[in-house]
Structure 1
Amino acid sequence: MKKNKLYNLVLTACFLGYSWLFFFKFFANSSSNIDLTACLFKRITTIPCPSCGTTRAVQEIVQGNILSSLVINPFGIIVALIMLCCPLWIIYDYFTKKQTFYNFYLTTESIIRTKIVAISLIFLVLLNWIWNIYKQL
């Protein structure tokens, strides 16, 4: 992936994530009788996907409830860190005319593509999925 495309994709995803959190903060709580489940997998199968609960987990982090966030979905911490760090990092790269974020992305991608890391990550995602199903999220 080219640098500009990556930066635009990450910034757009972060903007959408912030918008989704804003929507939940100010609109979802006021209309509690509306089901706002965005997960298509859960709507179709009634089984939570591995990332179900991530929005609530990020909301818990914003409120300072780290342990509660971990119980809801450990992916929330990863998403919160990405949403916080990546836009700042990309802005830094823009003003300094560097590509440190892009280089980090390329390095991380090559590490994730190694067999042992990929299998480990798949195992962790499956473990999280089992955890979500067990909690009846």
Structure 2
Amino acid sequence: MPAPARPRPAAGPAGCPCGLPESYDACCGRFHRGEAPAPTAERLMRSRYSAFVRGEADYLLRTWHPGTRPARLDLDPGMRWTGLEILATEDGTAFHSTGVVEFRASYRGGALHERSRFERVEGAWAYVDGDFPGV
């Protein structure tokens, strides 16, 4: 059973939840709505972060590699994500079939540091898995 829907906050005056200056609708919202695929591994990472912020479990599952995708995803409605910092990227552009994005996602009370792997599946970027540096 999916987690209950929670109100979807609008992007603040600083722009999209992913940290880019565009509005949510012009930035990650278009990916969430299926209007366009994320053009790079980094943009997919940013859109997935925004999906966590906004409780978009369907988008997270849709952009997960079919070989590692869980059957379902239950998001914690009490989790409050507070910011995303991209620490490094390797490959992941239109000229690559794989990519890596290292990031720090802050939440109320802590932070998640992950080195995520991405791969193209039928032309679209997909999240494969990640490692947690220092753990």
Question: If the length of structure 2 is used for normalisation, what is the TM-score?
Answer: 0.29
The one of the two structures with greater contact order (alpha-carbon pairs below 8 A, sep at least 6) is: 1
> Under a length normalisation based on structure 1, what TM-score does the superposition of the two structures give?
0.29
Larger radius of gyration: 1
From the two aligned structures, give the one with the greater helix fraction.
Answer: 1
